[in-house]
Amino acid sequence: MTQHLAAPAHHPTSGTHTGWWRDAVIYQVYPRSFADGNGDGMGDLAGIRDRLPYLKELGIDAVWLSPFYASPQADAGYDVADYRAIDPVFGNLHDADALIRAAHELGLRVIVDLVPNHCSDQHDWFRQALREGPGSRLRERFHFRPGKGVNGELPPNDWESIFGGPAWTRVEEPDGNGGEAGGEWYLHLFAPEQPDFNWEHPAVQDEFRSILRFWLDLGADGFRVDVAHGLVKAPGLPDIGGSEQLKLLGNDVMPFFDQDGVHEIYRSWRRILDEYEGQRVLVAEAWTPTVERTALYVRPDEMHQAFNFQYLTTNWDAQELRGVIDGSLAAMRPVGAPTTWVLSNHDVTRHATRFANPPGLGTQLRDQGDRELGLRRARAATLLMLALPGSAYVYQGEELGLPDVTDLPDEVRQDPSFFRAEGQDGFRDGCRVPIPWTRSGSSYGFGSGGSWLPQPDSWGELSVEAQTGVPGSTLELYRAALAVRREHPGLGAGDAVTWLDAPEGVLALARDGFVCTTNTTGADVELPVPGALLLASGPVAFGEGAGGGTVVLPADSTAWWAV
Ligand code: BGC
């Protein structure tokens, strides 16, 4: 395999303020559920490569691939056993190389997922650390501790795992001196199969710098950094002491999240990326208490982007949306990083289903709610998102308007948190069901060998085939929106919006030569015509009002106007 640094030729190549990512639309591929090239029921790299022309035609700029590394799949690949190998279920390194090359040939960038907070319990270091027993130098690369209590039978502190249950597991020591009789405990903020690295250890730091280079050399255009806020823990691993426990998708201040020490790590990574040609990027998955804390991850010498989870968790409410939009733009402005926008990903209920349910229910829903309402709002929300300055993330299948699958039988579920008591994220399988490509056929065109999670009967009518060329379909709406965005490069540019006067429940924002109107109310709203209609998520109707031309913006819809 040869090194190739090829970046799509038409992108600028220098300057923080001209980086390709600043206004990019980045499409998240969840490899196991996108397309199955070898018919084993599980998506793979060959399947993704075959479907790249679809992504090109959709009009996105880059693809972010969730993990495909060698892994026992205890947490769908977020438990990595070897960071330099591909899991056989997804293919091999030649497939990865071929996929990156093919994407570049189409002018698409490729961002890979880096999982530095923890590895798999099958990672060589961890296995050896277990084998060597207490006192092993390799144990220092993780957080091993003796237990509390007379016989060490209690966990070293009171932290709970994000997936439910204690964040510590006691090991069987090699000499048989384990379990209740005295084994050490190790820390895992997630599943027991995901031991946390000790980021104070130089070997851990060196290893990840080397892993970065491995993927940069292979041509990756950047990294989405998993749990970027979790690597450094407060000294002494202090108890929390309260009833409030871990929440990844929350804003609580915790001794294992958002510690100031993480920033030095990202500064050192940034120096590595800057050595490479072609504008490589770092994107933080950082759940922090405030957008201002998130902005610290994207200071000029750290990462380039951070996910805007405050936006993802905002209700379908004009005032709330405006507040978060203003707050996000204001928080990023001082550090000069672009704001990002996201509505769905592989960890949360799809936004078509979130918006189908009453507000305030969180990001793990178990009910379909009012599907028609949800889809209407989802389409409107997407057009609003794509009208904002900065970069937008799209999760596979949202362009088809897919709802979450809320009725998966327990026996097919694979999300590890589903099986642990009181896990907060137990319903993530519902957004991970393989996507439908064709109206009928085996797994609706996902592959020839079925699908690792069952697809609902409604999938055929939501497929790419069923929506292609159908005016008004959600797929054609996304295609049209992304085409407009490319034709009007000003749309994603800049760091500010101008709010125009609008009736209650309506957002009207102006950008250079462009106006976006969003009606978040459940009723039609009549407005003066803002300009020439470019695109709308619902059927707008024109009329003559008292002061001239008016337009009726339907309930829960967005329209784009050229002015
Ligand atoms: C990923 C999850 C994963 C967790 C542990 C996250 O934030 O997005 O899917 O379960 O990290 O790696």
* Per-residue DSSP letter, 118: B
User: How far does residue 182's CA lie from ligand 1's centre (Å)?
Assistant: 31
**Dist. CA 6–CA 219, nearest whole Å:** 7
**Nearest-atom index, ligand 1, CA of 189:** 5
pTM of structure: 0.95
Average pLDDT estimate for 197-216 = 98
**Pocket of ligand 1 contains residue 425 by CB under 6 Å:** no
> Would you say the CB of residue 69 lies under 6 angstroms from ligand 1?
no
Determine the average pLDDT of the residues in 163-171. 92
Residue bearing the bigger pLDDT, 401 or 11? 401
Provide mean pLDDT across the span 361-387.
94
| Spatial separation of the C-alpha atoms in residues 83 and 90, rounded to whole Å | 14
In this model, does residue 424 exceed pLDDT 80?
Answer: no
User: Is the distance from the beta carbon of residue 509 to the nearest atom of ligand 1 less than 6 Å?
Assistant: no
85 phi, psi to nearest 5 deg? -135, 155
Question: Which atom of ligand 1 is closest in space to residue 346's alpha carbon?
Answer: 9
Q: Are 378 and 465 in contact (CB under 8 A)?
A: no
Residue with CA nearest ligand 1 atom 12:
78
Indicate whether 184 pLDDT > 60: yes
Report the separation in Å between the CA atom of 227 and the middle of ligand 1, taken as the mean of its atom positions.
7
pLDDT-based confidence at residue 182 (cuts at 50, 70, 90): confident
Q: Would you say the CB of residue 491 lies under 6 angstroms from ligand 1?
A: no
Please work out whether the CB of residue 227 comes within 6 Å of at least one atom of ligand 1.
Answer: yes
Cβ of 196 closer than 6 Å to ligand 1, yes or no, is: no
Average pLDDT for 419-442: 84
pLDDT band at 241 (very low <50, low <70, confident <90, very high): confident
Q: Is 121 in the pocket of ligand 1 (CB under 6 A)?
A: no
Q: Whose CA is nearest to atom 1 of ligand 1?
A: 226
Ligand 1 atom with minimal separation from the 287 CA: 7
Of the candidates 153, 126, 131, 157, which has an alpha carbon nearest to the alpha carbon of residue 142?
126
Length of the chain equals 563
The tokens describing 55, both together, are 């992504």
**Residues 6 or more apart from 457 whose CB is under 8 A from it?**
none
Q: Which residues are catalytic?
A: 226, 285
Q: Is the pLDDT of residue 181 over 70?
A: no
Rounded distance from Cα 557 to ligand 1 centre (Å)? 32
Ligand 1 nearest-atom number relative to CA 117 = 12
Q: What is the mean pLDDT of residues 45-67?
A: 98
How much is the pLDDT for 1? 37
